[in-house]
Amino acid sequence: MKGKALSSVPFFDNRITRLTGIDIPILNAPMGGVATPELVAAVAEAGGLGLVPGSIGSKAATTFIRVMRERTNRPFGANIPVSFSEASIVDTLVEQRVRFVTTSTGPVPAFVPRLQQEGIAVFHVVTSLETARRAADAGVDGLIVEGSEGGGLRGAQEVPMMVLLPLVASHIDLPVIAAGGISDGRSMAAAFALGAEGVQMGTRMVASLEAGVHENLKNAIVAAAETESIMINRHHQRPIRVLRTATTEKYLDAAAGDAFKEIMYDTLRLYSDGDMESGFASVGQVAGRIDGMLPVAEIIRRTVEEFGQAVAALARNHLNRQS
Ligand SMILES: Cc1cc2nc3c(=O)[nH]c(=O)nc-3n(C[C@H](O)[C@H](O)[C@H](O)COP(=O)(O)O)c2cc1C
């Protein structure tokens, strides 16, 4: 696509594409058990930045990366969700010569300078202006800004993308990737208008052909209304946004136990057998906008095309050129 920008199909050139060597600044969320090598390789092959989920452990990540390299020559990265990861994942990613790493689930970890010395760019996941400032002070190369509408573990303070993204972008001069509520070109264009230079898709990618979960979950996302994604576990300082089921709605209650401790591992049965009452399915509010299961390449192709149309239509439909 390089150098051949059509009117509605943009050619991206910004800090994210230059830093990572990708063509299209779209990332898959690094979802353990969901983002399979097939899914992550499909993102990379489509021109996006595939992220390997570090939560699967060092041994599994090594195999994952080997399969990725058999499937694609294009760049990809990895995520280290610090509070759910083995310490050895850092050595594994260095040994495997991964060039881009995101760190999440807490403050900037002490191993970040080591990754950077190895030539790895590190982006940290933030959920407030305060956590973004702390990450910038710790010297990370960029930020993943996560809005509270997104699926999965959320920040203790719940700030939606519409407020958080322009706030962070206007105060901190680092490249920003937006995560939360992005499923198509219109939402990607909105994120870019708010200051992002890339987007990360979670829920949209769960409902993809390549996602490693049972069809019941993919179909549930396609069928879900925007109101069926609920924030549970708030009372244990680890809110998590999930699909409403009889099992998960119990954890709305302040008196309920910690969903991470009680039901997290049951989620594996939900993924493999499609038992929707096992564990919790991390699903964002954007499920309400997802109306079909698609191959990853098609999600990215449609998003890029619609992004170009959306950006062009804004000026065409709303600006008066006569004045
Ligand atoms: C099933 C699932 C698993 C996730 N696992 C991780 C993870 O291991 N590490 C991480 O940084 N974020 C994880 N996330 C959060 C995503 O990276 C991202 O912030 C979120 O999905 C974006 O919102 P969206 O679901 O509206 O696209 C997960 C999200 C989902 C839906």
* Ligand 1 centroid, distance to 313 Cα (angstroms): 30
| Cα separation, 83 vs 172, whole angstroms | 26
Q: Which residues contact 89 (CB under 8 A, 6 or more apart)?
A: 54, 57, 58, 61, 80
Long-range CB pairs of 63-67, under 8 A, 24+ apart, other chains included: 64/37, 64/40, 65/96, 65/98, 67/37, 67/41
* Ligand 1 centroid, distance to 238 Cα (angstroms): 14
The average pLDDT across 110-116 equals 98
C-beta separation of 97 from 105 below 8 A:
no
Any idea what DSSP says for residue 56?
Answer: G
Give the closest residue to 207 by CA, choosing from 195, 197, 219.
219
Any idea what DSSP says for residue 109?
Answer: P
C-beta separation of 13 from 67 below 8 A:
no
Query: For 215, phi and psi rounded to 5 degrees?
Result: -60, -30
What residue owns the CA closest to ligand 1's atom 3?
Answer: 31
Is the model's pTM score more than 0.85?
yes
Q: Per-residue pLDDT for 320 more than 90?
A: no
The average pLDDT across 55-70 equals 96
* Ligand 1 centroid, distance to 316 Cα (angstroms): 35
What residue owns the CA closest to ligand 1's atom 4?
Answer: 31
Average pLDDT taken over every residue of the chain: 95
Q: Is the Cα torsion angle 114, 115, 120, 125 positive or negative in sign?
A: negative
Q: Per-residue pLDDT for 6 more than 70?
A: no
Q: Which residues contact 146 (CB under 8 A, 6 or more apart)?
A: 125, 126, 127, 154, 155, 164, 179, 180
Give the model's confidence band at 9: pLDDT under 50 very low, under 70 low, under 90 confident, else very high.
Answer: confident
Q: Where are the beta strands (DSSP E) in the chain?
A: 26-28, 50-53, 76-81, 100-104, 121-126, 142-146, 152-153, 176-179, 198-201, 229-232, 240-243
* Ligand 1 centroid, distance to 152 Cα (angstroms): 5
Ligand 1 pocket test, pick from 89, 282, 283 with the greatest ligand atom count within 8 Å of Cβ, gives 282
* Ligand 1 centroid, distance to 81 Cα (angstroms): 10
The finding on whether 200 has its CB within 6 A of some atom of ligand 1 is yes
pLDDT digit string (tens) for 17-51? 999 999 999 999 999 999 999 999 999 999 999 99
pLDDT at 290: 98
pLDDT digit string (tens) for 244-282? 999 999 999 999 999 999 999 999 999 999 999 999 999
Q: Which residues pair with 177 in a beta bridge?
A: 144, 198
Give the model's confidence band at 7: pLDDT under 50 very low, under 70 low, under 90 confident, else very high.
Answer: low
pLDDT digit string (tens) for 127-181? 999 999 999 999 999 999 999 999 999 998 999 999 999 999 999 999 999 999 9
pLDDT at 202: 98
The average pLDDT across 194-214 equals 98
pLDDT at 168: 98
Query: For 56, phi and psi rounded to 5 degrees?
Result: -75, -10
pLDDT at 2: 44
